[in-house]
Structure 1
């Protein structure tokens, strides 16, 4: 066997062919070199991408050295939809695009700004330039772009510019209910109206906990009826133009529950583009403005006198002569120069008679009654914008006399409507609400402030004041079939420290159907002028027709059926309001 092996070896040497084990060694050495090259290539790629990844992370977490503390680009938390009482959308979230920059990737800030200005001409040059020149990893440039703007900017092809999808608030009705709904800021946080109320009552906490997700937020339903709200705002805007007034407003209130069905104040604003929302003339005069409400306050003076038990509908007051107290003389606007019955004091709006009604109760009793009616305390409701009423620090007789006919104290129109509702609904005062409220819930918060007999008498006086031929000032508010009753108020405004006879704040407060009131409507007109072809600019010529128009156009929406068999009212009416 050894011989055979030697022979084979010899043959191999003679043939010049390398042995098998030598060929295998050569192949092994060549394969190792190839594997080394692959490993080295992989290592190079890993190294390169690690450097790139590291730089990206560095740019992403690096702090803004310019002091810009804008958002980090995270998606904003959602807000719940706001609906009216019938489920119509008043406010909702929509997706919008916002423009941002990564300043370290901007090659030429000047060129970038020049290009962006062709699409966004209102871009703040200095602010934008400062952000683009910074070493920040992220900077907002413009929030809330339109789809067209986004498309145009993308076509510019600017390096270091990008877009992020955010949530923005959209109000389908525009300015229709702007003072009620309020506003959100650029970060979708409520800053006014019911939007602010929603944040303060749970949404902010959900945001902080990271739970404000659109899928988990229940819609917020308001007491507002969008159909009635549209009518009210339309009437208010038209009245402001028709009477050349500086402002106008109105509210519709459910007398049984205290729910606000509609409220508008003009001039207002568009919450979708609230560039002028903070102008002083655009405040919500219905709840955030305090005014001398003029003769509408006589409703409370008469109710106070009746509720005291010291007078009744047959009582009389001597209005033959003016009242002089100190340097002030109290006269009637259209004096009758005779003794007046209590109903005549009311329908003729006698200042002298009202002063004597207050005198029956006394100064302390007068002040206590107005506080009891909620007219002199800050109103409690969901809406954040609420003015504080004003009254004399120390009441003297002159204050009681002038306040009896609506001068010398200031309250909000909404509070006046709420107090009037208590006079109409059997004497139950309840805080107004912009959220749905059932009768059971209303009964729990209601407070009896006058007797049912006083409420009965006031319904009679309201209706009498609106009857044609009665001599009352409310006949221009009547609507056939709906039995409207109410009281006008024309207050002289203070100009340069003195009451002006030519500058007025007018109001009309009404209830319907007056035999069993369901709703109170109050309108205001600030500094109206006489309508073309008319000689008067008092409340009967402008605030009362506004009530008429609101009731005529919205009564069917409110579920009030007309009754054309109405008769002249001749006696007080007893009504059970607990049904």
Structure 2
């Protein structure tokens, strides 16, 4: 069988070898044609494959561009990141001390689509975050969303502990958080930011309104490109003011206290505080009713401190001088109202005596002589009846009678019947001390030239000189209510204000709002200090709780501790300098 196979093979070979040459050539041509056809097909296949791959990559690239522009399926994941990472400028005091700055923190997020077991995830997270809201977190993890926040503002330690849990679908995002090194020291001035680092109160809100929000929305708010914002505040004086207020609340068992230190020549607020306050680093109680910024956002009947303006009005009208005499021998009756003096002298008083004895009757007579229209026009001119203009957003509008009648004018003359903010009262008093120029307050640095450009002359300079004399007299003369505000070497002058508060629609004899309006040094007043204390109780061992016993000592303590920081040098030589002395008129 093998031989036959050999023979058939040899036979085929011999036959093939004996074929004509022409037939061999035809065979070669056919083979070449077949090869060309197969080569073209292969080449076409390669071209088609390349085209397909290019088409696929083009589609993928197009989808990537689309998702980059639209957010794709994971829009929820990328959405919150833009503004959270936006920076804010540092806030500095006038000496360059940092009041507010940005720090990096870590925020915990989850991708519910990747969460395998929400219950186990929450249980493990709660071992690190014990205050985690289980119910709310469970709803988030079961939502199927692409991105949800779990906890904002974690500490580095919390971050490392959560990372150690190794939970799938859980991650961190680095964010900017506002940090206030001084805690509550200047909280009402600095204000607050929200969870997205946007200003919502105080100077933080003001900064946003000046263009920071626009920078953040365009992604241009980066830390390196933001200039620090310098305030007029002196952190040293601010600390003194707040410390004295906290002590005063405890000493006089009051419900609140406040103070402001104002540059009378430039309008710069050097310090301002109101307690109770809050810690902007943990503002859980910032919106509580008792945390109100009483200095600019609260309105009050300022009591006898308003007699400063009544006296200045009387002098500026030209109808009174320091030698004028006013009959305060008997109560003043207006319609059904009877005006009494707290410590009446029962006789004719000189105008300086009306001021230092704080005579309600005398002040009523001054307002009556000037007239209703003149009285209201003067208070409006010195800024007590309009909403104050300044950078701080929290500013209340004063309250006055809708229609002024004679009784309103006479009671407002001694501080009842009109409500204004303590800061406005200090600003108006500055005009009485600085030569008669009303300068709107500012929480930003202001030069003397800038202050002169915005100042308005509201009273005659001679009236300002007379008021400086009366302020100093009230702190040095026998019977003056400002004696407890004196600070050796600093020539302090001022006016007390003890206002009865309205309880159940009537003025209460036992519930008071006290204030003291001080200026120093009185030979050339540079600073105004206004202190307030709400519902003080008598100090231990004393029977009364009038402003001279609490608000005046508060002002003295602030001046004593902060005058050196303000650059005021003590001058003990002027303490015994002779002054014009008021005299009494006997009936």
User: Under TM normalisation by the shorter chain, which class is it?
Assistant: 0.7 to 0.9
SS in structure 2 at match of 1:486: strand
Map of 1:496 onto structure 2? 504
Pick one of 455, 458, 461 that aligns with 2:464. Answer: 455
- CA deviations on 1:100-143 (whole Å, 9 max, x unpaired) are 01111111001101111111121122221111112221111110
Map of 1:547 onto structure 2? 555
What is the distance in 1 between the residues matched to 2:577 and 2:359?
A: 23
Matches within 5 A, 1:147-158: 147-158=156-167
What is the distance in 1 between the residues matched to 2:216 and 2:124?
A: 37
Map of 2:331 onto structure 1? 322
Map of 2:566 onto structure 1? 558
What is the distance in 1 between the residues matched to 2:145 and 2:103?
A: 29
Q: Are the aligned partners of 1:90 and 1:171 in contact in 2 as well (CA < 8 Å)?
A: yes
- CA deviations on 1:504-527 (whole Å, 9 max, x unpaired) are 000000000001001000000000
What is the distance in 1 between the residues matched to 2:473 and 2:205?
A: 43
Offset at 1:571? Answer: 3.6
Q: Are the aligned partners of 1:374 and 1:415 in contact in 2 as well (CA < 8 Å)?
A: yes
What is the distance in 2 between the residues matched to 1:102 and 1:63?
A: 10
What is the distance in 2 between the residues matched to 1:355 and 1:312?
A: 16
Map of 2:430 onto structure 1? 421
What is the distance in 2 between the residues matched to 1:141 and 1:328?
A: 63
Q: Are the aligned partners of 1:476 and 1:544 in contact in 2 as well (CA < 8 Å)?
A: yes
Map of 2:487 onto structure 1? 479
- CA deviations on 1:18-64 (whole Å, 9 max, x unpaired) are xxxxxxxxxxxxxx9xxx9xx9xxx9xx99xx9xx99xx89983267
Q: Does 1:434 align with 2:443?
A: yes
Change (3 A) 1:73 1:305: closer
Q: Does 1:333 align with 2:333?
A: no
Pick one of 402, 410, 416 that aligns with 2:411. Answer: 402
Q: Does 1:61 align with 2:69?
A: no
SS in structure 2 at match of 1:62: helix
What is the distance in 2 between the residues matched to 1:568 and 1:338?
A: 30
Map of 1:267 onto structure 2? 276
Offset at 1:333? Answer: 0.2
Map of 2:211 onto structure 1? 202
Q: Are the aligned partners of 1:223 and 1:433 in contact in 2 as well (CA < 8 Å)?
A: yes
Q: Does 1:358 align with 2:370?
A: no
Change (3 A) 1:569 1:527: farther
Q: Are the aligned partners of 2:254 and 2:534 in contact in 1 as well (CA < 8 Å)?
A: yes
What is the distance in 1 between the residues matched to 2:580 and 2:270?
A: 30
Change (3 A) 1:70 1:334: farther
SS in structure 2 at match of 1:421: helix
SS in structure 2 at match of 1:115: helix
Matches within 5 A, 1:225-374: 225-374=234-383
Q: Are the aligned partners of 2:74 and 2:147 in contact in 1 as well (CA < 8 Å)?
A: no
Q: Are the aligned partners of 2:83 and 2:217 in contact in 1 as well (CA < 8 Å)?
A: no
Offset at 1:208? Answer: 2.1
Offset at 1:568? Answer: 4.2
Offset at 1:450? Answer: 0.3
Worse-matched range after superposition: 406-415 or 71-80: 71-80
Q: Are the aligned partners of 1:102 and 1:138 in contact in 2 as well (CA < 8 Å)?
A: yes
Change (3 A) 1:432 1:569: farther
Worse-matched range after superposition: 321-330 or 173-182: 321-330
Offset at 1:244? Answer: 0.6
Map of 1:170 onto structure 2? 179
Map of 1:520 onto structure 2? 528
What is the distance in 1 between the residues matched to 2:509 and 2:319?
A: 34
What is the distance in 1 between the residues matched to 2:225 and 2:326?
A: 64
Higher helix share: 2
What is the distance in 2 between the residues matched to 1:470 and 1:379?
A: 36
- CA deviations on 1:143-185 (whole Å, 9 max, x unpaired) are 0001111111111111111111100000000000000000000
Offset at 1:74? Answer: 6.6
SS in structure 1 at match of 2:223: coil
What is the distance in 2 between the residues matched to 1:168 and 1:429?
A: 39
Pick one of 189, 192, 195 that aligns with 1:180. Answer: 189
Offset at 1:75? Answer: 4.9
TM-score (normalizing by structure 2): 0.86
- CA deviations on 1:361-414 (whole Å, 9 max, x unpaired) are 100000000000000000000000000000001100000000000000000000
SS in structure 2 at match of 1:392: coil
Map of 1:84 onto structure 2? 93
What is the distance in 1 between the residues matched to 2:320 and 2:78?
A: 68
SS in structure 2 at match of 1:215: helix
SS in structure 2 at match of 1:454: helix
Offset at 1:209? Answer: 2.2
**4+ runs deviating over 2 angstroms:** 57-61, 72-75
Matches within 5 A, 1:10-25: none
Pick one of 396, 402, 407 that aligns with 1:387. Answer: 396
**Unmatched segments (≥5 aa) in structure 1:** 1-31, 573-579
Q: Are the aligned partners of 1:64 and 1:136 in contact in 2 as well (CA < 8 Å)?
A: no
Larger radius of gyration: 2
